[in-house]
Structure 1
Amino acid sequence: MRSIGEMARDSGLGVSALRFYDRAGVLVPAWVDPVSGYRWYAPEQLDEARLLARLRRAGMPLADIRLVLAGWSSAETDLVRGLLQAHLRRLELGLSDARREFSTLRATLDHRENAMAVSSTATATATATATATAVRLSVPAPELAAALDAVRFAVGTDPDLPMLGGVLFDVEGDALRLVATDRYRMAVARTSAAGHDGPRVQAIVPAPLTDAMRALLSGDEAVGFIVDGARVTLDAGDRQAAGQYLAYDFPDYRRLVHLPSGRRALIDVPAFRRALETGPVRASAVREDEQRGGEMRGGEMRGGDVRGGDVREQEGASHGLSVLRVIADGTVTVCEDGDDGPNNVAVNRDYLLDALTAGGRDRLVLEIGAPTAPLAIRRTDDETAFSLLMPVRLDD
């Protein structure tokens, strides 16, 4: 007999997936300990589990998988072949439909680009006019340093998404907002600014230049932030950090920060950090083709799910998950493995720890909505500085 952990290791299905398939009646353990509830699997069930893993990777619905497993065990090869062939036809038809939709989307995009090209000269002229004379801001150095510290952790590193490889400096009126996102998390901070009363100006400062600017912010005096043509400069008196900003459009972050109200909990950051660092972590192996991660796409933040385990891959690396729940008295608890519930929310533990550090306070507000909605980490004294983290759905 194999324990559920051994079955997970040998079959490629995670522990949580095996529990789900048990509840769904797809792969039921040969024996369940009546006292502990622990699941045990017969040796012959290993082949079924491996078959199940392959079928799920191929995207076969559970209803068909049940029939395939039944036919497999009873050697009904005609049934199995028929189901496999029918699913393959569905995949081929789906791919054909997807190709048509993408062809239409490309044609639509080409049309939009052609239409935009008509006004590109006017747009370029307006942009050049806006930056023909340098935009110079006066920003308190401590405020700018705190804002950079609050967002730097969320800068993206994906070479295919260069527009996320820096911090957005968004100047509007007397406010300077700093924003960073890597699709799986986003951080926003605000600082006061003076010296600009013109149109809104945005510049994506690449991460290395951002770090060079942060190194100059050691004093209490105001510093100058300058946008001049394609260059940005931080002027800290006798020292400067300057370079070209990234010539890309940053996602419209304002569409992403209006979240449905969730359960808010005031957390003691040092105690909560200890609970996360010493508490249970979902750490079953997940292969890249068995998961869909949540991310920011198309102007919205979307949750993701994990198939076959509780580690998600983000930016090519695996990360452990902490499962959280807001209990009746308004406090947040880190759930034990197997402590499942409809209101539990799983989140990348390393990302959550980074967000707590970036919050820069001993007390923060943790806002948890639906299991698929982003988690918000806010300051108690300044809700204009906050982080959003994408959750991970643990159900199959």
Structure 2
Amino acid sequence: MRSIGETARDSGLGVSALRFYDRAGVLVPAWVDPVSGYRWYAPAQLEEARLLARLRRAGMPLADIRLVLASWSGADTDLVRKLLTAHLRRLEQGLSAARGEFSALRALLDHRENVMTSSLRTATLRLTVAAPELAAALDTVRFAASTDPELPMLGGVLFDIEGENLHAVATDRYRMAVARAGVTGHEGDRVQVIVPTPLADAMRALLHGEEPVRFSLDGDRVTLEAGDGQAAGRCLDHDFPDYRRLLPRAGDRRALVEVADFRRALQTGPVRSDETGTHDLSVLRVEDDGTVTVCADGDAGDQGRVVVNREYLMDALAAAGRDRLVLELTAPTAPIAIRRPDDEGGFSVLMPVRLQD
């Protein structure tokens, strides 16, 4: 007999997936310990588990997988071939339909780009901002900037200037950070500019004093002057996503955590691996009393549980720069918000990780 851990390791399914398929009646273990509930699998079931893993990676529906496994070892494999052929046809039709939709979307994008006039080439502004506030804002969001060359519009920090507020924003799709700094001297319309990451780092290096610094935009060129120092360069000629639409609503479960204790719990607590085996995942659960626990697993229906990339969460905790932070959760599939209790304008958002079924 093979343990559930051995079967998971050798099949590529994962322990939680094997538990799910047991509950679904797709791959039932040969024996379950009546005392501990531990699952054991017969050696012959390893082939079925590997087959199941392949079918799931190919996106086959669970109902069809159940029929494939039921027919796999039989003498008549005609049903298996028909199911595989039917699923491949669905995939090809779906790909064809997706190509058609993407072609239409590209045409819409081309039209928008042709009719819209970029404000980056004409905008001009001069404003001042307190050096400590801008430094804190850049420190808060820098970790979330993207390094993906396929998404150049995310390879910097967005400066969103409106009224007396400058919001610094960075995202790599999996996490987003937003911070605010007060500005003076701007009375015009809302202006957005994407400062490339290297330039943002050069600006941050100048922000050591207490005196206000001067930020200016001339067309596509941004400049920060601090004392005798200056950092200048071209902004990114791209449109940043509307981050306001990505902001999470207030979480149903809200917990105040001591950052030092929480970091230790993450570092020493149980972790899972993602499907690629390259990232450690932490399973968090907000208890009814408002405390947060790092648990080994959780029921897929547990609305208080969320799975996050542990490294990303640790980065967010460090960037927030507070001894206490507020964690807000709404659902296992909804983003988790990490807020400063004394500053609602500074927070991070982490996308949850979906565990393999």
TM over 0.5: yes
Amino acid in structure 2 at the alignment position of 1:234: L
Compared CA separation, residues 178 and 127, structure 1 to 2 (3 A) = closer
Unaligned 5+ runs, structure 1: 288-310, 312-317
Which of 323, 328, 353 matches 1:367?
A: 328
Matched, 1:279 2:269: yes
CA distance in 2, matches of 1:342, 1:127: 47
Amino acid in structure 2 at the alignment position of 1:382: D
8 Å contact 2:169–2:177 — kept in the other structure?
yes
What do residues 152-184 of structure 1 show as CA deviations (whole Å, max 9, x unaligned)?
010001100001011111111111110000001
Alignment of 1:1-396 (within 5 A): 1-114=1-114, 116=115, 120=116, 123=117, 128-131=121-124, 135-283=125-273, 286-287=275-276, 318-337=278-297, 342-343=302-303, 344-394=305-355, 396=357
CA distance in 1, matches of 2:208, 2:188: 29
Report the Cα offset of residue 258 of structure 1: 4.6
| Higher mean C-alpha displacement, 371-380 vs 200-209 | 200-209
Percent same amino acid at aligned positions? Answer: 74
8 Å contact 1:130–1:199 — kept in the other structure?
no
* Partner in structure 2 of residue 291 of structure 1: none
Amino acid in structure 2 at the alignment position of 1:262: D
Amino acid in structure 2 at the alignment position of 1:166: G
Compared CA separation, residues 104 and 200, structure 1 to 2 (3 A) = closer
Secondary structure of the structure 1 residue equivalent to 2:135: helix
Q: Which has the higher contact order (CA 8 A, sep 6+)?
A: 1
Amino acid in structure 2 at the alignment position of 1:11: S
Report the Cα offset of residue 107 of structure 1: 3.8
Compared CA separation, residues 205 and 386, structure 1 to 2 (3 A) = same
CA distance in 2, matches of 1:146, 1:165: 19
What do residues 171-225 of structure 1 show as CA deviations (whole Å, max 9, x unaligned)?
1111111000000111000011111212222211111111111111111111111
Secondary structure of the structure 1 residue equivalent to 2:239: coil
8 Å contact 2:167–2:180 — kept in the other structure?
yes
What do residues 84-130 of structure 1 show as CA deviations (whole Å, max 9, x unaligned)?
1222222222223223333333344444445x1xxx5xx35x65553
Compared CA separation, residues 341 and 223, structure 1 to 2 (3 A) = same
Compared CA separation, residues 109 and 220, structure 1 to 2 (3 A) = closer
8 Å contact 1:71–1:80 — kept in the other structure?
yes
CA distance in 2, matches of 1:362, 1:342: 29
8 Å contact 1:203–1:246 — kept in the other structure?
yes
Secondary structure of the structure 2 residue equivalent to 1:99: helix
What do residues 311-341 of structure 1 show as CA deviations (whole Å, max 9, x unaligned)?
5xxxxxx211111111111111111246665
* Partner in structure 2 of residue 299 of structure 1: none
Compared CA separation, residues 111 and 219, structure 1 to 2 (3 A) = closer
CA distance in 2, matches of 1:267, 1:165: 31
CA distance in 1, matches of 2:104, 2:339: 42
Secondary structure of the structure 1 residue equivalent to 2:343: coil
CA distance in 1, matches of 2:198, 2:271: 33
Amino acid in structure 1 at the alignment position of 2:199: L
Secondary structure of the structure 1 residue equivalent to 2:263: helix
Report the Cα offset of residue 11 of structure 1: 1.1
8 Å contact 2:130–2:210 — kept in the other structure?
yes
Compared CA separation, residues 107 and 232, structure 1 to 2 (3 A) = closer
8 Å contact 1:267–1:365 — kept in the other structure?
yes
Taking structure 1 as the reference length, the TM-score comes to 0.85
Amino acid in structure 1 at the alignment position of 2:342: D
8 Å contact 2:127–2:184 — kept in the other structure?
yes
Taking structure 2 as the reference length, the TM-score comes to 0.94
Report the Cα offset of residue 75 of structure 1: 2.7
Compared CA separation, residues 5 and 177, structure 1 to 2 (3 A) = same
Compared CA separation, residues 176 and 112, structure 1 to 2 (3 A) = closer
Report the Cα offset of residue 151 of structure 1: 0.5
Secondary structure of the structure 2 residue equivalent to 1:171: strand
Amino acid in structure 2 at the alignment position of 1:327: E
Amino acid in structure 2 at the alignment position of 1:366: L
Length, aligned pairs only: 356
